[in-house]
Every structure is written in C-alpha cells, then in structure tokens.
C-alpha cells in the first residue's frame, strides 16, 4: 500500500458519516419512551421525628411522651409514569442493577386511570391507613370508639361522579343501614347492576342519590374509594409529607403507641417496618418488600418488622445481615420489639 492510498482512505468521509449516523440513532433510541418504570429503594422517614420542624405525630388533650427510638417508615421510589417513562439507556442501566426493578408502566399506573388519579388514590389510601393506625394503637391501649364509613375519593366519570363528594358519610343503601365497608360492597354486588339509593350525611345534612353501579372486571362499582373514620377520644395528628399508599400503617400505629406511653419503645434502637394495618391490629401484606429490605439494610436498621403474609418474598430476597421478624398483628409487632429490647436471640422467622 502506497502513502497516497493511505492518505486517500484517511480522507474518505463515508466511514465517519456512517459512524455519526449510528451514534445519533443510538442516542435517539436511548431517549425514546420505554413503556417501563423503574422501582428502587426509597427514602425512610422517622415517625418519631419531625418534618420541616413539625412533629410527624402530635397529640393534644392528653399527655404524650418523647421517644428516642428511631421508628421508620420505608418507601419505594418509582421513576416514570404514564406521561413520561424512562428512556432505554436508563432502562439498560437499571436492568444491570440488582437493587432496581423494571415493571411495565401499566402494572403501576393502570391504563384506565390518569397519573393524577393514581396519585390521588395513593394519598387517599395513606389518609385511610393513618386512621386505621391510630385506631389500632388506641385499641391496644384500651380506648373505645365507633367507626363510620366515609368516601375518601370519587373517580371522575364513575357512577358516583357529580353526586358523592370526598368526605360524605355513608348511612344506608336502599334503606339498609351501612356500618362497615364490607356491607357497602356487598350491597352494591347484590344489586347486580340495578340502581341503588345511597343515603349520605354531608355537613350535618342527609342526602339521597340514585346510582347505577357499573360492571368492571366482574365486579360492580360506583366509582368511589371508601374507608373508615373515627371519633377518637384522643386527638392525634399525623403528617408525612407527600408519601402515599397504605404500607406505613403498622409503623404509624407503633409510633402513636410510643407517643402515648412513657419512655421509648425500644431505647435508641433503629426499628423499621412495613405493612398495612386495620383497627383490630391485623397486619396485611404490601408490595415492594424486597426493595424495602434493601433500604433497611442500606440505612443500618437494627430490626425490620414485616407482614407474615409476605414471607415467601422475604425468604427469597432477605439480606443476610438484616434481622427480619414477620408479624401477623400489632401485638406480635410489640412483642418482637420487646424481644429485641431484652437482647433476645430467639425471634420468629419466615422459616419456622
């Protein structure tokens, strides 16, 4: 090969043009919406602490107590939504990272709901969860109170849209008194798509509405989220910024219990947990527990309380150096903390 031939090849732009086109195409492809969202371990919040100078748990009309126990709610962070999914480059790096999960966007944000509706539902579930958490703690402490079924959110375009509003207290369906969420759900199913007359209390006044349930995935719905609210004998205020969903219920209940009892629930220990809870103290399963265990391990938690119903996932993904204790109810959660505080090495586990 002559010097002239080398020089000619060096100046030939075809190869460089092809490379430039390839790089531009690859870059453009990496930025295209992927149809996936990325889940990763999120932030942890100490319910015995403060947010922006305001206590997460505050109590009035009764004596309360400060606690040194670091009692944390765990969260899962979601990158992306229906309107903006991560690009393929982000998806690729998340796929390489064992601490991140890829999920189809429709699995997190149902296609029949807007991103705003999903977020509103998440906030409504958190508010309902907090009510149940306070109820569980006060029940454990021997207080008495009665629940009321209320509307926490109305879905736009649903059967109840334009009639019911958030905050309505449900009194009856077709003249039959409603005192539980299960009674309301059963009354709607029993109507089999026929119109029902729903009576609610709003601002001290009674209103009646005729609604026609709609069949959605083999169930009749009226397009509302409902929950319980209580006339508690103790005023308890909970706030946790923009965190949504019901999975912090058990830890909130522990925090309220800690606030209303002398001393610290577990000294200066770092206790984290997750799980829904109802007024009777039953702890229910949650999603993303594998990522929450990673968050707990990342933060150096001493004790992780988890729903017994999540045991299959716990067994498959529990970090080796994280103490995870499964609990089925509030009493078991308190017992696990007591065992840890007393220095016990014998804890319930998902394998026994």
DSSP string of 166-178? Answer: TTPEEEEETTEE-
Q: What is the pLDDT of residue 26?
A: 47
Confidence band, pLDDT 50/70/90 cuts, at residue 120 = confident
Q: Are residues 61 and 157 in the same domain?
A: no
Q: What is the pLDDT of residue 22?
A: 46
Q: Are residues 240 and 204 in the same domain?
A: no
Across the chain, the runs of DSSP E, i.e. the strands, are 36-46, 50-51, 54-55, 57-60, 70-79, 101-104, 147-154, 169-173, 176-177, 196-202, 205-211, 214-216, 219-221, 224-230, 235-238, 270-273, 276-277, 283-284, 303-307, 324-327
Residue 305: exposed, middle, or buried by beta-carbon count in 10 A (0-12, 13-18, 19+)? buried
Q: Are residues 221 and 249 in the same domain?
A: no
Beta partners for residue 101, in sequence order:
39
Beta partners for residue 214, in sequence order:
221
Q: Are residues 184 and 131 in the same domain?
A: no
Domain presence at residue 351: no
- pLDDT higher than 70, residue 20: no
For residue 302 the two structure tokens come to: 């001493």
Residue 200 DSSP code: E
Q: What is the pLDDT of residue 27?
A: 52
Q: What is the pLDDT of residue 344?
A: 87
Q: Are residues 201 and 97 in the same domain?
A: no
Range of the domain at 332: 36-142+232-341
Q: What is the DSSP string of 101-142?
A: EEEEHHHHS-TTS-HHHHHHHHHHHHHHHHHHHHHHHHHHTT
Domain presence at residue 18: no
Region label for 142, one of left (φ > 0), alpha (ψ between -120 and 50) or beta (otherwise):
left
Domain presence at residue 319: yes
| Domain final residue, candidates 170, 198, 229 | 229
Q: Are residues 82 and 213 in the same domain?
A: no
Residues 193, 215 contacting (CB under 8 angstroms): yes
192: domain CATH number? 2.30.42.10
Q: Are residues 202 and 273 in the same domain?
A: no
How many domains does one find in the chain?
2
Assign 283 to helix, strand or coil. strand
Average pLDDT over residues 124-149: 90
Q: Which range scores top for mean pLDDT: 1-10, 74-83, 315-324, 327-336?
A: 327-336
Average pLDDT over residues 262-278: 93
Domain presence at residue 97: yes
Tell me which of 7-21, 137-151, 307-321, 329-343 is least confident: 7-21
- pLDDT higher than 90, residue 281: yes
Residue 204 DSSP code: T
Domain presence at residue 59: yes
Residues 94, 100 contacting (CB under 8 angstroms): yes
Q: What angle do CA 97, 102, 108 make, to 5 degrees?
A: 145
Q: Are residues 265 and 217 in the same domain?
A: no
- pLDDT higher than 50, residue 217: yes
Cβ-based neighbour number of residue 48 at 10 Å = 22
Q: Are residues 216 and 248 in the same domain?
A: no
| Domain final residue, candidates 214, 229, 244 | 229
Residues 315, 351 contacting (CB under 8 angstroms): yes
| Domain final residue, candidates 229, 249, 278 | 229
- pLDDT higher than 70, residue 53: yes
Residues 56, 48 contacting (CB under 8 angstroms): yes
d(CA 59, CA 47): 13
Domain presence at residue 71: yes
Max CA-CA distance within the chain? 100
Please, what is the end-to-end C-alpha distance for the chain in angstroms? Answer: 76
Q: Are residues 267 and 316 in the same domain?
A: yes
Pairing status of strand 235-238 against strand 224-230: unpaired
Q: How confident is the model over 219-261, as pLDDT tens digits?
A: 999 999 898 888 899 899 888 766 777 788 999 999 999 999 9
Average pLDDT over residues 7-29: 53
- pLDDT higher than 60, residue 1: no
d(CA 105, CA 133): 30
């Amino acid at each position: 090969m002559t010097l002239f031939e080398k020089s000619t090849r060096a100046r030939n732009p075809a190869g460089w043009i092809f490379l430039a086109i390839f790089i531009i195409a690859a870059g453009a492809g990496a930025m295209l919406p992927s149809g996936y969202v990325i889940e990763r371990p999120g932030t942890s919040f100490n319910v015995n602490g403060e947010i922006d100078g305001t206590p997460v748990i505050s109590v009035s009309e009764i004596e309360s107590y400060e606690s040194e126990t670091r009692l944390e709610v765990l969260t899962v962070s979601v990158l992306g939504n229906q309107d903006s999914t991560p690009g393929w480059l982000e998806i690729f790096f998340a796929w390489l990272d064992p601490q991140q999960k890829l999920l189809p966007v429709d699995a997190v944000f149902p296609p029949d709901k807007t991103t705003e509706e999903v977020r509103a539902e998440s906030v409504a579930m958190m508010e309902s969860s907090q009510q149940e958490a306070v109820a569980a703690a006060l029940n454990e402490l021997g207080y008495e109170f009665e629940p009321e079924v209320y509307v926490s959110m109305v879905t736009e375009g649903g059967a109840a849209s334009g009639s019911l509003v958030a905050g309505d207290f449900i009194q009856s369906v077709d003249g039959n008194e409603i005192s539980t969420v299960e009674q309301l759900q059963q009354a709607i199913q029993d109507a089999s798509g026929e119109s029902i007359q729903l009576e609610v209390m709003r601002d001290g006044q009674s209103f009646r509405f005729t609604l026609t349930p709609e069949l959605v995935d083999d169930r009749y719905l009226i397009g509302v989220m409902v929950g319980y609210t209580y006339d508690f004998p103790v005023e308890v205020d909970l706030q946790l910024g923009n965190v949504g969903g019901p999975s912090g219920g058990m830890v909130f209940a522990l925090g309220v219990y800690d606030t209303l009892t002398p001393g610290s629930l577990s000294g200066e220990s770092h206790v984290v947990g997750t799980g829904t809870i109802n007024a009777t103290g039953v702890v229910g399963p949650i999603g993303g527990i594998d990522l929450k265990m990673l968050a707990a391990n990342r933060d150096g938690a001493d004790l992780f309380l988890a729903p017994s119903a999540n045991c299959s996932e716990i067994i498959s993904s529990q970090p080796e150096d994280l103490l995870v204790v499964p609990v089925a109810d509030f009493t078991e959660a308190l017992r696990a903390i007591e065992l840890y505080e007393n220095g016990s090495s014998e804890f319930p586990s998902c394998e026994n």
